[in-house]
Amino acid sequence: MEANTSTANPPLRIALAGLGTVGVGVLRLIEANRAIVEARAGRPVEVVAVSARQAGRSRGVDMGAADFVADMTALAQRDDVDVVVEAVGGADGPALALAEAALASGKGLVTANKAMIAHHGLRLAELAAATDAALAFEAAVAGGIPVIKGLREGAAANAIERIYGILNGTCNYILSTMEATGADFADVLAEAQAQGFAEADPAFDIDGVDAAHKLAILAAIGFGARVDFEGVAISGIREVRAADIAQARALGFVIRLVGVADCAGGRLLQRVRPCLVPTSHPLAHVTGPTNAVVAEGNFAGRLLFQGAGAGAGPTASAIVADLIDIARGTAGAPFSLPAGELQPMERADPGDRTGRDYIRFTVADRPGVLAEITAAMRDAGVSIESLIQRGRAAEDGGEVLVAVVTHEAPERSVAKVLALLEGSESLTAAPLVLPILRD
């Protein structure tokens, strides 16, 4: 263990709002690794005040001499506080009020709140710049993986051309478990909830919103852009069937929920959606509740950041790492550039992009259906690379699943295929389009 060489310097005085899993994790980490933390911070670290919904409840951690403050926004007004840690959550409400109050009073702010940063990050960064306060949120993206530091510092000399990755552990657990067991979505979701990998209301995760929050933050940092969460196109994993997992495997792919951002041509494209990932790609081997982010730099090449994306330990690790940066005075600009230099980027037209797609059609088992599909693809100018047709048992409705993999085609052409088939009596369910991630 490293010796504590920090006692000659004034302490970093911390106020902590929120004593749930993350907040308690921060307290435990500071206590367990105090000598290491203080040696690397170059000064003592003290938690002087805490706030939570309930006072006096045992949380299994020693809070020492920290004052309990019922009104969390009052933490920002204390003269004995240098930095506020927000571990409450929520894009708005008390968390945002506390963040604004802390930065307005010139106090540093450390948060794991991805929703708040995705929706209000630019305004908070401007407020931090106006008061010369530190704003840090490493824990908001991918838990304990230092991807924000990696982009902002390690890859600082590169023009980042593309950022993509597996940004939600719940979805990755569900999809990789479906892959391993052959079970369908609803059954694996119920298992994930029972094991604590999915919330009782899993909508933010399985509908892709959580991943979109993280992607918008990464895009802003990587491209020097203003955060544009509203510009993220989002599709979740509810419609992915066990049959799609099996078809993908037969074709040499796995299915993962992937967030992708690029700024080709100076226009920003941000999307979260299930993709077919080639088995040769590093993301294909990311299983369970793990996150992985890939950044492509013009000189560094492909950089892969992988690890635990959530949980008390990894999140606390990222929060305390930010506290160490603030203690040393090395926090830097929150989005890699000063807030006033972040550029608004025009949104890209996804129809201009070309790629290969997996399209699953669920159709009635009768003659002429396949001809109708192929005619629509011909008329839209989309050629077929491969096709798999599998029927279902009569007791399952007698439907036929037709899985098509296309050659490279503009996205607007694939959209035209769906438009041509819209309302067809041959289709018994809406088609599912999954892009194929380029290797």
Q: Who's near 419: CB < 8 A, 6+ residues apart?
A: none
Half-sphere exposure of 202 (CA within 13 A, CB side): 23
> Cα(110)–Cα(125) distance, rounded to whole angstroms?
12
**Which position among 107, 114, 214, 416 bears the catalytic label?**
214
In the residue annotation, 107 being an active-site residue is answered as no
**The dihedral of CA 106, 109, 115, 118: what is its sign?**
positive
Look-up of token digits 């005075």: 329
Q: Name the helix (H) or strand (E) containing 315.
A: helix 312-328
> Cα(47)–Cα(85) distance, rounded to whole angstroms?
10
Q: Who's near 267: CB < 8 A, 6+ residues apart?
A: 345, 346, 347, 348, 349
Name the DSSP class of 355: E
- Pairing mode, if any, of strands 400-406 and 45-51? unpaired
CB 433 within 8 A of CB 406: no
Cα dist from 242 to 113, 199, 239, 245, 246, whole Å: 33, 22, 10, 5, 6
Token digits for 4?
Answer: 């504590």
Token digits for 125?
Answer: 């960064």
Counting other chains too, the contacts that 193-198 makes at CB distance below 8 Å and 24 or more residues apart are: 197/169, 197/170, 197/173, 197/289, 198/170, 198/173, 198/174
Q: Who's near 130: CB < 8 A, 6+ residues apart?
A: none
CB 366 within 8 A of CB 402: no
Name the DSSP class of 353: -
Enzyme catalytic residues: 214
